[in-house]
Structure formats: C-alpha cells, structure tokens
Amino acid sequence: MRLAKYLAHSGVASRRKAEVVISDGRVRVGGQVVTDPATNVEIGEDIKVDGRSVVPEGHEVWVVNKPIDVISTADEPGKRVAVVDLVDSQARLYPVGRLDADSTGIILLSNNGELANRMTHPRYGVKKTYRVGLVRRINDAELRSLETGVRLDDGPTAPAEVRRISERSFDISIREGRNRQIRRMAEAVGNEVVELKRISIGHLKLGRLGVGKYRLLDEQEVARLWKDAEHE
C-alpha cells in the first residue's frame, strides 16, 4: 500500500493532505524519514508522524447537527468548541468539509480520509442542500437568478436547485463548495442571509437529529455516501 493511502486509511488526513505531510518530512518509516508519498509500506511496519506511531483503525462516519458558534475543525485552540468535541468516540475524527461557525446543520465527521476526499473534492460534485432565511422578501425573478447562476467575485455560480419555502426563505441545492457561497449568492441578488442550515449531504438528511446531537452511520448509509460521490 502506498504511504499516502496508508496514512489516509489510518485517519491522519485525507490522501491529498497526507501527501503534504509526507513531503514536509514529517513521516518516518522504520526510523528513516520518507518524503515520497508513493513509497510502498506494509501494515505492521513502524510508521510514525511527528514522532507518533500510526496504525490503521476501524473507519467511522458520524453525522452531527452542528450548533451555531461551533467550529468545523478537529482542534479549536480558542474559546469556541470544535465540532469533533461533540462526538464521544476514541477514533481520530476529522470534519468532512466545512460549515461556517454562524451556520448550523448537518456535517460529517470521519477517520476515513479517502471518503472525506470523495465527499469534498469538486470533481465529484456531491449535492448539499441548505435552508436559507433572509432579511427581506425574495421574489420569483431573484430565485430564478439563483437557480441559473449569479456572478460572484470569484466567477459565476453553477446552476442550482431552488425551492421556495416562504416569502423570506428557500431551499437551495448546490454541488460547489466555495467559501460562504450561499451568503454571497443572496447578496448578489440584493438580500442578506440571517439563518443558514444545511439539511442534507448527498442522500443523507438531517431529519429529526437534535441540535448538538450525533449518531454513527451504519454500513448501508456509508455505502450510499460512496455512491453519492460517484458523480463526476
């Protein structure tokens, strides 16, 4: 098995980030620094990252209903809570993608670096749906603009699926993952987001999972996530 894949399967990081960790000289195999991510290794070898032994662990995927002001990181040195601190697990979990501190809703945590990469890499276009609350009423023409695409400072957005909920709220499904994209899209049509909740990732829906609550996905649910990431 290639070293980068081994680290990803061990929950160190996604495969792409594991390649950076290796290239930076932070990995030793049998006591020797290895900087080539393609180096072949075997399970049971003495492999260390930053001096700590790395062994493959059983993969876990958790779904969390992230509260507001919780940070989508594996470690939060400040006063706010990191999302991984909400889950009672001994596995080295990492957020799969991000959800802004001022947004709520569904986020995945996992130690499966390959799955995390599939769920977040733009080439796989995993659909994510958000419920959006606005300051002002939004008209049908503005909703159509969001659906067909609006121009942002980093380029036009791809077509989206939009469904009105009320005069000041709608659901939107996108396959992109730009920084604060939904909020910027609302600003592009002259409005402002006051509440943003992600309600689904791929097939997986938030449902009745309470705020701050979490649950471990079963094998069938994880298999469906892999299928969601087959889109290219």
Active site residues: 100
The CA distance from 2 to 19, in Å, is 10
- Copy the structure tokens of residue 68: 């507001």
What are the distances in angstroms from CA 10 to CA 26, 40, 214? Answer: 15, 15, 22
SS3 per-residue string spanning 78-144 = CCCCEHHHHCCCCCCCEEECCCCCCCEEEEEEECCHHHHHHHHCHHHCCCEEEEEEECCCCCHHHHH
